Amino acid sequence: MSYSALATDYDGTLATDGRVTEETLAALECWRKAERTLILITGRQLDDLRTVFSRFDLFDWVVAENGALLYEPATNTETLLAEPPSPEFVAALRDRIQQSEQSAQLLSREFERLHNLAPLATGRIIVATWEPHSTIAETLIQEMGLNLTVILNKGAVMILPTGIDKAAGLQAIATKLNLSLEQIVGVGDAENDLVFLTLCGYAVAVNNALPSVKEQVDWVTKGDRGAGVIELIQTLLNP
């Protein structure tokens, strides 16, 4: 089957340490020149992604915030798929994280240095923190009776409205493009990618992917990260 769209994760898949190589960009350009659709699916906030990646023009759509936000580079338009968590929840979570760090004698400045991110960050929809704060988030969600879900991604903790994930984002894009999911090849590396990979007509993991991801896809590339994406694109364009 000839696939008409490629949906790819960013960190750990396209990018190495947040950056995409020129060789990988060239492969993406080849995909677009073949008149095929390119979709970026990332857990990052859109503004954060812009600080490390400038080639949004290569993509027909960007799914950001782990599925909560759709962005069309050609028109510079954003679509939100849900309402954000309440300010009360965000404030309470921030307080509990700060209390937890103080009780564990953790230094906030050191935490920020290690992760290059504040202990708690908010996007248009997403609320994001880092391990070991997932238990704090889950407990608070239960106490407040909120319809929110905690999603883990290699140490990152993402809090989103229930039902919002990378699969929901991809389904929304497929509907906009009048595209069958069977026509889409998906590639990723982490646990939060599995939900969208299993929807695709063909699921691929780059070689550096988590073992649990490799076990559930159709093919694993020989190359890591961007090199694996290059390998995938070359294979699809030159069967």
pTM score, whole prediction:
0.91
SS3 41: strand
Distance of CA 9 to the CA centre of its chain: 6
Residue 124's pLDDT is 96
Concatenating the DSSP letter of every residue in 8-76 gives EETBTTTBBTTB--HHHHHHHHHHHHTT-EEEEE-SS-HHHHHTT---GGG-SEEEEGGGTEEEETTTT
Q: Compute the distance between CA of residue 15 and CA of residue 224 in angstroms, rounded to an integer.
A: 10
Is the pLDDT score of 10 beyond 90?
A: yes
Question: For 115-142, what is the mean pLDDT?
Answer: 87
Rg, the chain, Cα only = 18
A 10 A CB-CB count for 156 gives: 20
Options 3.40.50.300, 1.10.3720.10, 3.90.105.10, 3.40.50.1000; which CATH number does 5-81+164-237 get? 3.40.50.1000
**Token pair in block for residue 198:** 């299993």
* pLDDT score recorded for residue 109: 44
Query: Which residues share a beta bridge with 38?
Result: 6
Q: Is the pLDDT of residue 203 over 50?
A: yes
For the chain, the structural domain boundaries read 5-81+164-237, 87-161
- Quick one: pLDDT at residue 114? 41
Dump pLDDT digits (tens) for 19-28.
Answer: 999 999 999 9
Q: What is the pLDDT of residues 60-118, one digit of tens each?
A: 999 999 999 999 999 999 999 999 999 999 999 999 998 886 655 444 444 444 444 56
More confident call, 117 vs 37:
37
Between strands 37-41 and 61-64, the pairing is parallel
Asked if the domains at 5-81+164-237 and 87-161 fall in one CATH topology, the answer is no
Give 191's pLDDT tier (boundaries 50, 70, 90): very high
The CATH number of the domain covering residues in 87-161: 3.90.1070
